[in-house]
């Protein structure tokens, strides 16, 4: 299947789909789940939400986690909160269990392929793993004996940063090498490695020694590690919840996210402290706001069931469960898609990002949409062969819509473009305005400019020149680089306010339509169009200057001719 898409071979794709169909008919949950996604994407088969739903239902009953994610996201979007919570809570529980059983830990690399319309080259180059030039330089310096680079290299292997495969044995090797050279920063990580038994035999006594040494050097996360040992009674004189609370408290006061979470759990369960639901909620909310997955899970559970004095709120619970569930084992699809893209396998990357898009990953949605916009060749396979332009636009539009709903500013901007120009969707200026408003709420200067343009001309939004000026001013406040287009727009607006119906206003209205990407607009103009644009705008600006100077001269002349006031004696 993946090879068929990457080779842009509709015949191979059809053969793969037939194999999947046979397997699905025999009850294979993975095949059913894959067919559900293909119907959602309209890849090799006609688009059908009904068939996608049906196949995912079958796969869910067979225990397929990705189909559970797809269905949970579908319910979440449709605000069917009870159904969404039921599935997301199961998936979040599976995710929590994976945190405990896996030595890999929760790593989700939500890497955006693009910044605006352009590829995020500087970001992507840092995710090439051990092939990255910066990583190779780091490794070279570490091998030369520089302790700072040894520590950094150990951290790379420990956390699995920037596409480097996690290797706890290598991590411990380089961290200990750094310590031998006098580096103290690895102390806390070494303590964690011994406490968890990562790449080495678990040794709580050594873990405590390293944690204490780290804490003495103000590595405050080590305080949380010591508290953990007292909770479990490992490496210390038995369990001691009171001492655990003291260490978690100190860690939290130093801003350690795990300290907030663990202290919250103590107050929630009344361990070492009096049970205090209000304090527990406060601490767990602090940790959740700092993206702590376990804190989010406990808050979701409390909102789901109305526990610990919290009012039941299924919508909020579903949103929190979703954030936790997205860190589950199936999140590795995001990393696999990124690896394919970095290696130049764009078709494979598109397929996997499209899969994650259906599972509700906003970055997957925006990355898949951007690939469809950027690579207009055969990487997109439609319902019958290579995508038509219309199929590609429709698929990208659908993905941008999903990403926009999840708060992506750029997606909202492009969704507005799609409705404004009728690209991938029926032209609808009112919906374009709504999309631009969503982008504006995320502080998009481009959206502000577009809203000003639409209000100035009454396109999909009420004709309102004062509001148009406000949006133009806001666009300039948000982005100083918009000075030239905003200045020209304000000149046009001034003419429209004072000389509506004049030949200059008509000339401005006859210019090429406004674009949401002004740079692309100028780049795409023909020489004749550009000449006409520059001449018209120059005439407009000169006219504005002339009229304002004339008004000033008339005012000065009138002031000079006026009789002087009589000064009372």
| Burial of 561 from C-beta contacts in 10 A (0-12 / 13-18 / 19+) | exposed
367 located within any domain: no
Half-sphere exposure of 492 (CA within 13 A, CB side): 25
- pLDDT at position 295 is 96
Tell me: pLDDT of 123 over 80.
no
DSSP letters, 283-349, are: HHHHHHHTT-HHHHHHHHHHHHHT-TTPPP-HHHHHHHHHHHHTTSGGGHHHHHHHHHHHTT-HHHH
Q: Kindly report the three-state secondary structure assignment for every residue of 388-421.
A: CHHHHHHHHHHHHHHHHHCCCHHHHHHHHHHHHH
Place of tokens 């692309």: 520
In the numeric block, which tokens belong to residue 116?
A: 């605006």
In the numeric block, which tokens belong to residue 28?
A: 């294979």
Tell me: pLDDT of 547 over 50.
no
333 located within any domain: no
Place of tokens 């194999």: 19
Judge if 131 and 250 occupy the same domain: yes
401 located within any domain: no
Whole-model pTM: value is 0.81
Convert 255-273 to b/e letters by CB count within 10 Å (16 or more is b). Answer: ebbbbbbbbbbbbbeebbb
Summarised one tens digit per residue, pLDDT across range 378-403 is 667 766 667 788 888 889 899 999 99
Region 43-67 average pLDDT: 94
Which DSSP symbol is given to 38?
H
Judge if 138 and 89 occupy the same domain: no
Please answer whether residues 104 and 166 qualify as being in contact, where contact means their C-beta atoms are separated by less than 8 angstroms.
yes
| Domain-ending residue, one of 315, 333, 354 | 315
Please answer whether residues 476 and 446 qualify as being in contact, where contact means their C-beta atoms are separated by less than 8 angstroms.
no
- pLDDT at position 375 is 83
Please answer whether residues 230 and 243 qualify as being in contact, where contact means their C-beta atoms are separated by less than 8 angstroms.
yes
Tell me: pLDDT of 525 over 50.
no
Judge if 128 and 97 occupy the same domain: no
Please answer whether residues 198 and 157 qualify as being in contact, where contact means their C-beta atoms are separated by less than 8 angstroms.
no
Sign of CA dihedral 534, 535, 539, 545: positive
Q: Which helix (H) or strand (E) holds 503?
A: helix 503-509
Q: Categorize the per-residue pLDDT at 568 as very low, low, confident or very high, splitting at 50, 70 and 90.
A: very low
397 located within any domain: no
Beta bridge partners, 371, equal none
Instruction: Give the SS3 label for residue 441.
Output: helix
Please answer whether residues 474 and 448 qualify as being in contact, where contact means their C-beta atoms are separated by less than 8 angstroms.
yes
- pLDDT at position 243 is 95
Higher pLDDT residue, 486 or 362?
362
37 located within any domain: yes
Instruction: Give the SS3 label for residue 198.
Output: coil
Which DSSP symbol is given to 273?
S
Judge if 72 and 121 occupy the same domain: no
Judge if 186 and 295 occupy the same domain: yes
Beta bridge partners, 165, equal none
- pLDDT at position 410 is 86
Judge if 212 and 296 occupy the same domain: yes
61's CB contacts (< 8 A; 6+ apart) are 29
Judge if 97 and 122 occupy the same domain: no
Region 498-507 average pLDDT: 64
Judge if 127 and 99 occupy the same domain: no
Tell me: pLDDT of 528 over 90.
no
- pLDDT at position 241 is 94
- pLDDT at position 300 is 97
| Domain-ending residue, one of 106, 124, 147 | 106
In the numeric block, which tokens belong to residue 391?
A: 């199929």
In angstroms, rounded to a whole number, what is the distance separating the alpha carbons of residues 378 and 560?
Answer: 74
Judge if 59 and 151 occupy the same domain: no
Beta bridge partners, 119, equal 114
Summarised one tens digit per residue, pLDDT across range 449-473 is 999 989 988 899 999 999 989 998 9
| Domain-ending residue, one of 64, 82, 106 | 106
Which DSSP symbol is given to 246?
H
Instruction: Give the SS3 label for residue 434.
Output: helix
In angstroms, rounded to a whole number, what is the distance separating the alpha carbons of residues 365 and 399?
Answer: 5
CATH number at residue 516: 1.25.40.10
In angstroms, rounded to a whole number, what is the distance separating the alpha carbons of residues 41 and 26?
Answer: 23
Most confident among 52-56, 235-239, 308-312, 343-347 (mean pLDDT): 52-56
Comparing 38-47, 132-141, 147-156, 488-497, which segment has the lowest mean pLDDT?
488-497
Summarised one tens digit per residue, pLDDT across range 186-219 is 999 999 999 988 888 899 999 999 999 999 999 9
567 located within any domain: no
- pLDDT at position 509 is 65
Summarised one tens digit per residue, pLDDT across range 398-445 is 999 999 999 888 889 888 888 888 887 889 999 999 999 989 988 888
Summarised one tens digit per residue, pLDDT across range 159-183 is 888 878 888 899 999 999 999 999 9
Domains contained in the chain, number: 3
Judge if 72 and 136 occupy the same domain: no
Summarised one tens digit per residue, pLDDT across range 230-258 is 999 998 888 999 999 999 999 999 999 99
- pLDDT at position 533 is 47
554 located within any domain: no
Most confident among 33-37, 443-447, 476-480, 543-547 (mean pLDDT): 33-37
Please answer whether residues 92 and 303 qualify as being in contact, where contact means their C-beta atoms are separated by less than 8 angstroms.
no
Instruction: Give the SS3 label for residue 119.
Output: strand
Judge if 485 and 441 occupy the same domain: yes
Higher pLDDT residue, 83 or 103?
83
Question: How high does pLDDT run on average in the chain?
Answer: 84
Tell me: pLDDT of 361 over 70.
yes
- pLDDT at position 567 is 43
| Burial of 201 from C-beta contacts in 10 A (0-12 / 13-18 / 19+) | exposed
Summarised one tens digit per residue, pLDDT across range 282-334 is 999 999 999 999 999 999 999 999 998 899 999 999 999 999 999 999 999 99
Range of the domain at 55: 2-106
Judge if 87 and 21 occupy the same domain: yes
Neighbours of 15 (CB within 10 A): 14
| Burial of 171 from C-beta contacts in 10 A (0-12 / 13-18 / 19+) | buried
Instruction: Give the SS3 label for residue 114.
Output: strand
In angstroms, rounded to a whole number, what is the distance separating the alpha carbons of residues 215 and 227?
Answer: 12
Q: Which of 227, 143, 226, 214 is nearest to 185 (CA)?
A: 214
357 located within any domain: no
- pLDDT at position 193 is 92
């Amino acid at each position: 299947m993946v090879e068929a898409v990457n080779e842009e071979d509709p015949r191979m794709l059809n053969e793969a789909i037939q194999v999947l169909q046979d397997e699905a008919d025999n009850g294979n949950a993975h095949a059913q789940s894959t067919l559900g996604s293909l119907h959602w994407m309209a890849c090799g088969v006609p688009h059908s939400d009904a068939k996608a739903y049906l196949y995912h239902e079958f796969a869910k009953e067979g225990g397929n986690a990705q189909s559970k994610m797809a269905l949970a996201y579908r319910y979440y979007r449709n605000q069917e909160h009870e159904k969404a919570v039921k599935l997301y809570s199961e998936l979040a529980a599976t995710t929590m269990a994976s945190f405990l059983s896996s030595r890999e830990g929760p790593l989700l690399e939500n890497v955006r392929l693009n910044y605006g319309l352009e590829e995020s080259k500087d970001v992507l180059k840092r995710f090439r793993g051990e092939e990255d030039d910066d990583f190779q330089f780091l490794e070279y310096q570490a091998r030369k004996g520089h302790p700072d680079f040894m520590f950094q290299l150990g951290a790379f292997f420990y956390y699995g940063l920037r596409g480097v495969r996690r290797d706890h044995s290598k991590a411990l090797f380089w961290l200990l090498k750094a310590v031998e050279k006098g580096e103290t920063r690895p102390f806390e990580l070494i303590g964690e490695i011994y406490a968890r038994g990562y790449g080495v035999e678990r040794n709580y006594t050594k873990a405590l020694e390293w944690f204490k040494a780290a804490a003495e050097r103000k590595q405050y996360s080590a305080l949380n590690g010591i508290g953990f040992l007292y909770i479990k009674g490992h490496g210390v004189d038995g369990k001691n919840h009171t001492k655990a609370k003291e260490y978690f408290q100190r860690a939290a006061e130093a801003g350690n996210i795990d300290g907030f979470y663990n202290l919250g759990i103590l107050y929630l369960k009344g361990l070492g402290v009096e049970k205090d639901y209000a304090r527990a909620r406060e601490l767990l909310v602090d940790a959740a706001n700092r993206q702590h997955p376990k804190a989010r899970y406990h808050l979701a559970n409390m909102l789901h069931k109305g526990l610990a004095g919290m009012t039941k709120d299924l919508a909020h619970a579903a949103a929190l469960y979703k954030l936790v569930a997205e860190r589950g084992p199936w999140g590795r699809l995001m990393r696999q898609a990124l690896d394919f893209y970095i290696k130049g396998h764009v078709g494979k990357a598109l397929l996997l990002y499209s899969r994650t898009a259906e599972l509700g990953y906003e970055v997957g949605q925006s990355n898949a949409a951007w690939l469809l916009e950027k690579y207009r060749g055969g990487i997109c396979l439609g319902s019958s062969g290579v995508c038509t332009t219309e199929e590609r636009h429709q698929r990208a539009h659908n993905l941008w819509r999903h990403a926009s709903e999840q708060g992506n500013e750029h997606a909202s901007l492009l969704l507005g473009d799609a409705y404004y120009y009728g690209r991938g969707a029926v032209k609808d200026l009112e919906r374009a305005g709504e999309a631009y408003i969503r982008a504006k709420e995320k502080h998009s200067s481009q959206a502000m400019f577009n809203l000003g343009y639409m209000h100035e001309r009454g396109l999909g939004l009420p004709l309102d020149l004062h509001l148009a000026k406000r949006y133009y001013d806001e666009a300039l406040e948000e982005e100083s680089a918009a000075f030239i287009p905003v200045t020209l727009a304000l000149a046009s607006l001034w003419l429209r306010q004072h000389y509506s119906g004049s030949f200059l206003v008509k000339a401005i209205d006859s210019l090429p339509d406004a674009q949401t990407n002004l740079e692309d607009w100028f780049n795409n103009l023909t020489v004749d169009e550009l000449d006409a644009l520059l001449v018209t705008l120059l005439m407009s600006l000169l006219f504005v200057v002339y009229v304002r100077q004339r008004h000033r001269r008339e005012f000065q002349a009138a002031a000079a001719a006026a009789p002087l006031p009589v000064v009372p004696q």
